[in-house]
Structure 1
Amino acid sequence: MVQTFRNPVLTSIRSLRRTNANPRITLNHTPSLRATFSTTGFAAVQALRSGSPLAQKRLLSNLSRRKPSFDPRFFSSNASQSVTAGLPILSPPPVGIWLLASSGLVFAVIVVGGVTRLTESGLSITEWKPVSGILPPLSRAQWEEEFDKYKLTPEFKLMNHSISLDDFKRIFYMEWGHRILGRIIGLAFVLPLGYFALRKSLTATMPKNLFGMALLIGAQGALGWYMVKSGLEDSLMETPGAVPRVSQYRLAAHLGTAFVLYAGMFYTGIATLMDWRYAKAGTWSGLKGSDAQWQAVLDNPAVRRFARYSKALAALVFVTALSGAFVAGLDAGLLYNEFPLMGGRLAPPADELFSPEYAKAQDKSDLWWRNIFENPTTVQFDHRCLAITTYACTALMFAAVRSPALKTALPPLTRRMVTSAFAMANIQVLLGISTLLYLVPVPLAALHQAGSVALLTTVMHLIVSLRRPGVAARAWRQALRTSKAQTH
């Protein structure tokens, strides 16, 4: 990638030919001219020293056909000075591709985690061994040992006391695969992060954010075990009617952290690629033409309001997904398997939504919040309300973009992402209703969870489309524009 522009060399040679200057003397006594010749300058030196008009003519012909490349050594407000050290680091496309690939792995682990919960496999591994747990049992004796540990859990005693060793292997491998995928994500993120950091390929703000993501990946492993541990407690055996399952609070925290990690990786990856594209070609969110066209777009009051609404929609999608974690944790999807009604009415009776049975305080002061987070009926009703609200907001945003005023003000990429978000919202609603009506089959439920991540993806891309180019991208674009103006 590091090459010199043809213009300084070309201009210098033509100047020497016009003035009939001695190439040897001029080259030896003009430091600025010597500095001009870099990789292609070596050929120029040979042509100048030879004094052969034919050699100089051939060099001029070759240089004229060369295409200028993106060389930071000539990005300066003064063409006679090199300002490589003055330009901030701009992350190259491989950094963005790596972040998008990492977000894809997080997407996969979210879906696999959902399948693990739906198949009730999450409690099959009763220990957390970050290093030695990489390998599954390899012999009959090791499998028997793991099975004996599982036999001590409340889930086996209350629900799976009749399963065979082969049945245990199936649920064990599901949970083991989920944990292994988490370890792969850690390695696939941390190792390239160290490489890019050592190569100084990260913009000024990226190291802090990316190292924070690396810590979050490690915390996810600990949080996952903290969640599983809640389903292995012997106190479940002493609670009448208790079902062995993980805490819905810990499940929501585990899933919510994964969503945050995914959104951070995806946003940063897309922004990195867009910054590089802007620095190289001046294009931004599908706009081509003036490099600073984005300034007029983002200064538009209507666009600024739309950007705020986009962020609010992303927050709503996130909260709706978290409410889905409570539905999953309490198996609330197995109640009221109809839509849009619940028991023949729009909402269940108030005494069922806020049952005093879930209050634990003597004065019943915790009646409201415990029902909201622990009553399966209320949890499903809340998820329905949030899902309908999310869909309505996405539809309103899609309708707003169709208006002539906003349609002409927004960048092309933003309009496409609004359409994609509305399309994904429709798919997600259909998946959610189907999952409910068919009593939560594993394939539909897994697709519904994947749909929540896909919807978040489209909304995050929408937010990125209304983001200003980064400081480094603007500096490099200005330097490139200045260099081109001076060399023409």
Structure 2
Amino acid sequence: MISFLSSDRSKPVAIWLFVVAAMVLAMVIVGGATRLTDSGLSITEWKPVTGALPPLSEADWQAEFDLYKQIPQYSQLNAGMTMAEFQTIYWWEWSHRLLGRLVGLVFFVPFAWFAIRRQLPRRLFLRLGGIFLLGGLQGAVGWWMVASGLTHRVSVAPERLMVHLGLAFALLGLVMWTAFDAWAGTARQTLPSPWGRRAAALLGLIYLQVLLGALVAGNDAGLIYNDWPLMNGALIPDDYLGANLWATLAHSQGAVQFNHRIVAYLLTGAALAMGFFAWRSTYLARESKLLAVAVAAAVGLQAILGVVTLVMRAPVGLSIAHQLAAALVLMLAVAFAWRVRRV
């Protein structure tokens, strides 16, 4: 029988969850680097347990290399690759998967420990269980994504990359929100104001932009239309329309980049307006005002970084920084949305 903490708050639980959030953030960054270095297809089998060990002998390495040689990415893009080159991309993917396993352990073991020692607030138990299940689902989604690039493609399907990255950002936000709840306990009062809805809408817009960014990454759309603010001299790219609606929204390089740009303009305007009106509000607490301004500043800087990354044709360093900044924007927006609902 599970025992619970009599209090509705626990700072040790909150600190543990902040550590988990930091590890999820690291997963996002390592995952981005894995994609940008075209390393994600280097491990062609899903071995949740035994895959934690890397190849330990020359024969093991050769066996892994032989499996990689059977997929289209090798024959069409990397034919003639040396063993040393293969090991470089292999280590990126192996590190990404190992970090995922570590995140699972760092979540589950303290979760069980806190429950046994009655240090787990009752109201957070089901939510934490849901987060654990979502984390397990993320591992399955990651393999589902990789599998899309092992037969008829040289890279993973953009829509599956979008699901994988979207779930990672959702987990990051859920863990952060739960950590705040564990630290502060139940709110003494829920604010009956429009600020909660506004903050939630801004958070939703940020999340949409993350998903659109994943489609840009999955389609390598950052490598074309590298002028700004126009796209090859036009407002709307000539190749915007695909064969059908799904082909347009998910697979047209022109469409996914255009959509990402338009939502970026909308998001930047909304965040700046939110920060301005929040700062002038006589209703919000100072902490909420500062968080609103921080979100606005982070979104503005992210927009600038996005433009620079685009015109530089998405170099690895800038692309990783852009993905990191997106995660930081989301974390600030979660903090703001959480704070404005409390007094």
TM-score > 0.5 by shorter chain: yes
Per the alignment, residue 428 of structure 1 pairs with 302
Q: Look up the match of 2:275.
A: 398
Q: 1:265 is matched with which residue: 151, 166, 175?
A: 175
Q: Does 1:180 align with 2:132?
A: no
2:189 is the counterpart of 1:312: no
Shift of 1:402: 3.5
Per-residue deviation at 1:199? 1.9
- Report the Cα distance in structure 2 between the residues aligned to 1:323 and 1:116, rounded to whole angstroms: 19
3-state SS of the aligned residue for 1:136? coil
Residues in 1 aligned to 2:268 and 2:98: alpha-carbon distance in whole angstroms: 35
Residue 353 of structure 1 is aligned with which of 230, 240, 259?
Answer: 240
Relative to structure 1, the CA distance from residue 249 to residue 120 in structure 2 (aligned partners, 3 Å threshold; closer, same or farther) is same
Q: Distance in 1 between matches of 2:246 and 2:132?
A: 33
Instruction: State which structure, 1 or 2, has the greater radius of gyration over its C-alpha atoms.
Output: 1
Counterpart for residue 370 of structure 1: 247
Q: Which residue of 2 aligns with 1:216?
A: 134
The C-alpha deviation readout for 1:224-257, integer Å capped at 9, x for no partner, is: 0110010001x34xxxxxxx11011111111111
| C-alpha deviation, 1:454, in angstroms | 0.4
Which residue is equivalent to 1:139?
A: 57
Of 459, 467, 482, the match for 2:333: 459
CA contact (8 A) 2:33 2:320 kept: yes
Segments of structure 2 that go 5 or more residues without pairing to the other structure are none
Correspondence 1:94 to 2:12: yes
User: Contact between 1:428 and 1:448, CA under 8 Å: does it hold in 2?
Assistant: yes
Which of 200, 208, 221 aligns to 1:332? It is 221
With normalisation by structure 2, the TM-score equals 0.95
1:124 counterpart letter in structure 2: S
Which residues of 2 match residues 151-190 of structure 1 at below 5 A?
Answer: 151-190=69-108
1:159-207 CA distance string (max 9 Å, x none): 0002100000000000000000000000000000111112222222211
Does the 8 A contact of 2:272 with 2:297 survive in 1?
A: no
Residue 136 of structure 1 contacts residue 176 of structure 1 at CA under 8 Å; is this kept in 2?
A: yes
User: What residue is the counterpart of 1:343 in the other structure?
Assistant: 232
Size of the aligned set, in residue pairs, is 339
* Superposed counterparts of 1:104-123, under 5 Å: 104-123=22-41
Q: For 2:162, give the aligned amino acid.
A: A
Distance 2:41 2:206 in 1: 29
> Retained in 1: the 8 A contact 2:29–2:323?
yes
Write the letter of the residue equivalent to 2:73: E
Q: Contact 2:104/2:135 (CA < 8 Å) preserved in 1?
A: yes
Structure 2 letter corresponding to 1:270: F
1:271 Cα deviation from its structure 2 partner: 2.2
Opposite residue 353 of structure 1, the aligned amino acid is Y
Q: Contact (CA 8 Å) 2:8, 2:123: kept in 1 or not?
A: no
The amino acid of 2:156's aligned partner reads V
- Specify every segment of 5 or more residues in structure 1 that has no aligned partner in the other structure, as ranges: 1-86, 237-243, 279-291, 360-366, 470-488
1:22-101 paired onto structure 2 within 5 Å? 88-101=6-19
Distance in 1 between residues matched to 2:287 and 2:180, nearest whole Å: 12
The CA deviation at 1:274 is 2.2
Residues 162 and 214, structure 2, Cα contact 8 Å, conserved in 1: yes
Letter of the structure 1 residue corresponding to residue 125 of structure 2: P
Runs ≥4 residues deviating over 4 A:
none
Aligned partners of 2:149 and 2:156 also within 8 Å: yes
The answer (yes or no) to whether the contact 2:10–2:121 under 8 Å persists in 1 is: no
- In the alignment, the residues of structure 2 paired with residue 268 and residue 401 of structure 1 have an alpha-carbon distance, to the nearest angstrom, of 24
- The equivalences for 1:264-283 within 5 A come to 264-275=174-185
Look up the SS of the partner of 2:121 in the other structure. coil
Distance 1:96 1:333 in 2: 38
Preserved contact between residue 165 and residue 214 of structure 2 (Cα < 8 Å) = yes
In the alignment, the residues of structure 2 paired with residue 158 and residue 329 of structure 1 have an alpha-carbon distance, to the nearest angstrom, of 18
Quote the residue 2:319 is aligned against.
Answer: 445
Counterpart position of 1:125: 43
Superposition deviation, residue 345 in structure 1 = 2.4
CA distance, structure 2, for counterparts of residue 163 and residue 415 of structure 1: 54
Does the CA contact (< 8 Å) of 1:90 and 1:201 recur in 2? no
The residue type equivalent to 2:254 in the other structure is: T
Quote the Cα distance in structure 1 between the aligned partners of 2:295 and 2:342.
21
Instruction: Select which of 237, 256, 262 maps to 1:379.
Output: 256
Of 127, 136, 160, the match for 1:250: 160
Structure 2 counterpart SS, 1:409 = coil
Give the alignment's Cα RMSD to 1 decimal. Answer: 1.6
Q: Is the 8 A contact 1:89 1:200 kept in 2?
A: no
Aligned pair partner of 1:194 in 112, 121, 138 = 112
Identity %: 39
Verify the 8 A CA contact 2:295 2:333 in the aligned structure 1. Answer: yes
- Can you list the C-alpha shifts for 1:362-414, whole angstroms capped at 9, x where unaligned? xxxxx2332111111001000001111111100111121233xx1x2101110
Shift of 1:88: 4.5
Deviation at 1:125, TM superposition (A): 0.5
Q: Which amino acid aligns with 2:36?
A: L
Amino acid corresponding to residue 341 of structure 2 in structure 1: R
Alpha-carbon shift at residue 442 of structure 1 (Å): 0.4
Higher relative contact order (CA 8 A, sep 6+): 2
